[in-house]
Structure 1
Amino acid sequence: MPHISNKGLKMPESPIRKLVPFAEEAKRKGKTIYQLNIGQPDIKTPENALKAVKDNAIDVLSYSHSAGFESYRKKLAEYYRKNDIPVTAEDIIITTGGSEALLFAMGSITDPGDEVIIPEPFYANYNGFATASGVNIVPIQAKIENNFALPPISKFEELISPKTKAILLCNPGNPTGYLYTKEEIEQLAQIALKHDIFILADEVYREFAYDGVKHHSIMSIPGLEQNAIMVDSVSKRYSMCGARIGCLVSKNQEVMAAAMKFAQARLSPPTFAQIASEAALDTPQEYFDEVIKEYTFRRNLLVEGLEKIEGVKVAKPKGAFYCMAELPIDNADHFARWLLESFEIDNETIMVAPAGGFYSTPDTGLNQVRIAYVLKKENLEKALKILEAALKEYNKK
């Protein structure tokens, strides 16, 4: 019998999705599940984006340019310039989600065996992208005690080797919700220039910044133009996860030329989704104001509720719509599965994302979970009550 590749064997499971079969079985048994495990917003997609697709009279659903519609890239560049990111349409390649942008970036700046330094915990799929690209992740651990702030720059310097090609940063962070300060971004910029490496910044949660704190893009740092690469997506900004439209952005034309070859190899991003994404750029500011107000309320409700549960430690996020919580348990994987298989209150339970998969360091974060506050008030309140009762019952066992 033929064998699959070592790469296939090493490809990690998604900690967010691997519990889906247990959730499906629970639903078949009639349970209601409050899904705190996945960043699928319940906020309505802007009507103008949906209308642009509904009202389109395309006769032939053809390929677009491999870099995406020129009209979309020009309009996107205008949006970025309004957000202090000085780029042009030529600095942008439209991709099939932010995931493809990350794969294009890794393919363009690394060779098999090269290293990328990433503060952990980090977005779980970075493990998968690195495995697919033959890249070694070098983790540097952030701590829940200080809300997962950037580790000391001296620690980054200790990890840089001849094989280091980039530092990968998610800002605001998934799964932590941490929003990096201007000083932290500038520190990273200086280390990138000093060692002539890239800063690859995943900024898909840019709009989700709370408490009046401003998001600072790696693309806004003067003098870093040749070292900065940004990944972005419409998924969260416009509650359009199913559109699968993202982009890769850089002023480094060698990087973009290499990425363009990957873009040509997959032909083009999806046409209808680009139409919706281009129209979404006309979404009024009032939409985002209401979204931020709602998520700030949900964050406060969740964090305050978690802090009241005995034995739970929680980091307070400043951005995105996730928080990391440390629970009074030994193994979050076991606990998350038990919640779906063996626990209910009035035929209701919750689904959380075990945090071990958000780390690269083995046996780390085993008692932590990521919680997405993408549910409305009454459902979040129910979920908190279920979690508190579940922890008491689980620890009795």
Structure 2
Amino acid sequence: MPAISKKGLAMPQSPIRKLVPFAEGAKARGIKIHQLNIGQPDIKTPQVALDAVKNNDLEVLAYSHSAGFQSYRDKLASYYSNHGIDVSPEDIIISTGGSEALLFAMGSVTDPGDEIIIPEPFYANYNGFATASGVKVVPVISTLEEGFALPPISDFEKLISDKTKAIVICNPGNPTGYLYSEDEIRQLAELVKKHDLFLIADEVYREFAYDGHKHHSVMKQRDIDDHAIMIDSVSKRFSMCGARIGCIVSRNKELMSTAMKFAQARLSPPTFAQIASEAALDTPQSYFDDVIEEYVSRRNTLVAGLEAIPGVKVAKPKGAFYCIAELPVKNADAFAQWLLESFDLDGKTIMVAPAAGFYSSDNVGLNQVRIAYVLEENHLKEAVTILKAALEQYQD
């Protein structure tokens, strides 16, 4: 048999999706599963986006420009302007999801063997994107005890080498829900400017900032125009995960010219999804006000429930719709599988994402799980009850 590539063998499994076979087995046994493992909102997609696809009169489903519809990029530039981010349509390339935008960014700024520094825990697919790009992730650890705040800049600085090309952050964070302060973004801006690095900011959860906190984009740091790269997506903002539309945004002309070559190589982003995404920009602010109110209520319900379980620790998220919980178990991976294979409470169980997969450091986060509070509150309450009962019964 021909050999599989070393890159393919090194490609990590998704900690979010690898338990799916066990979930399917539980469902086949008639067990109802509360899925807390994946960031698939149950919030309705804006009707204006759905209607734009339903009512279009296209006769040929043609390629778009490799950078995406001009009309969509024009409208996106206006959207960003309304959020205090001054960019032109030429600073935007539409991608097939935020994932492709991240691959464009890594492909444009790194070579095989280069390094990127990422505060961990981080979105698990960053490991996969780095592996696909032949890049090494160098982690700087943030802790639950500190609420997953930005680690000291000195921790970053001692990791910078001649192979370092970029620092990557997710703001607000997946899986932590941490929202970086303006001062923390400023510190990172000064660091990348000092060491002539790129700062790649995954800002797909921008709208979801709670308790009076505000989102601070790297694109507002105008002294790092040549360093800043923003990644965005419609998936969470408009509850349109299946559209697979995102974008890469930067004022660095050489960077965008390079990213454009990657965009041309994959031809164009999907047409119907761009139609829906462009229309979604007409969604009124009231939609987001209602969604944020709902997520804050869900967060409060979940955190209060988790804190009431003996031995469980949780950092209260300031944004997005995830939290990291530390459980009184030795191995959350084994516990998560056991929940699906061997446990139910009145015919129901839960599915969580083991958090070790959100780290690149070995033996870190082994007793942690990521929980997505994307379910209605009554289901979240039931999920917490199930978790409490499971922990009382589970033996490592």
TM-score greater than 0.5 by the shorter chain: yes
Q: Tell me, what secondary structure is at the counterpart of 1:117?
A: strand
Matches within 5 A, 1:1-397: 1-395=1-395
TM-score (norm 1): 0.99
Residue 297 (structure 1) shift: 0.2
- Provide the rounded CA distance (Å) in 1 between the counterparts of 2:197 and 2:222: 16
Amino acid in the other structure paired with 2:204:
V
Amino acid in the other structure paired with 2:101:
A
Q: Tell me, what secondary structure is at the counterpart of 1:212?
A: coil
- Provide the rounded CA distance (Å) in 1 between the counterparts of 2:253 and 2:24: 46
Residues 168-223 of structure 1: CA distance to partner in whole angstroms, max 9, x if unpaired? 00000000000000000000000000000000000000000000100000000121
- Provide the rounded CA distance (Å) in 1 between the counterparts of 2:326 and 2:384: 14
Residue 359 (structure 1) shift: 0.2
Residue 6 (structure 1) shift: 0.1
Residue 266 (structure 1) shift: 0.1
The size of the alignment, in residue pairs, is: 396
Residue 363 (structure 1) shift: 1.0
- Provide the rounded CA distance (Å) in 2 between the counterparts of 1:252 and 1:152: 27
- Provide the rounded CA distance (Å) in 2 between the counterparts of 1:62 and 1:19: 38
TM-score (norm 2): 1.00
- Provide the rounded CA distance (Å) in 2 between the counterparts of 1:67 and 1:168: 23
- Provide the rounded CA distance (Å) in 1 between the counterparts of 2:393 and 2:356: 22
Residues 261-315 of structure 1: CA distance to partner in whole angstroms, max 9, x if unpaired? 0000000000000000000000000000000000000000000110000000000
Residue 122 (structure 1) shift: 0.3
Residue 332 (structure 1) shift: 0.5
- Provide the rounded CA distance (Å) in 2 between the counterparts of 1:334 and 1:352: 11
Residues 340-361 of structure 1: CA distance to partner in whole angstroms, max 9, x if unpaired? 0100011000000000000000
Residue 146 (structure 1) shift: 1.2
Residues 69-121 of structure 1: CA distance to partner in whole angstroms, max 9, x if unpaired? 00000000000011111101000000000000000000000000000000000
- Provide the rounded CA distance (Å) in 1 between the counterparts of 2:389 and 2:258: 53
Residues 327-382 of structure 1: CA distance to partner in whole angstroms, max 9, x if unpaired? 00000010000000100011000000000000000111000000000000110010
Q: Tell me, what secondary structure is at the counterpart of 1:101?
A: helix
Q: Tell me, what secondary structure is at the counterpart of 1:379?
A: helix
Identity of aligned residues (%): 72
- Provide the rounded CA distance (Å) in 1 between the counterparts of 2:63 and 2:256: 20
Residue 247 (structure 1) shift: 0.1
Residue 232 (structure 1) shift: 0.2
- Provide the rounded CA distance (Å) in 1 between the counterparts of 2:391 and 2:345: 13
- Provide the rounded CA distance (Å) in 2 between the counterparts of 1:185 and 1:207: 17
Q: Any unmatched runs of 5+ in structure 2?
A: none
Q: Tell me, what secondary structure is at the counterpart of 1:159?
A: coil
- Provide the rounded CA distance (Å) in 1 between the counterparts of 2:239 and 2:323: 19
Give the 4+ runs in structure 1 shifted more than 3 A. Answer: none
- Aligned-pair RMSD on alpha carbons? 0.5
- Provide the rounded CA distance (Å) in 2 between the counterparts of 1:307 and 1:28: 32
- Provide the rounded CA distance (Å) in 1 between the counterparts of 2:64 and 2:81: 24
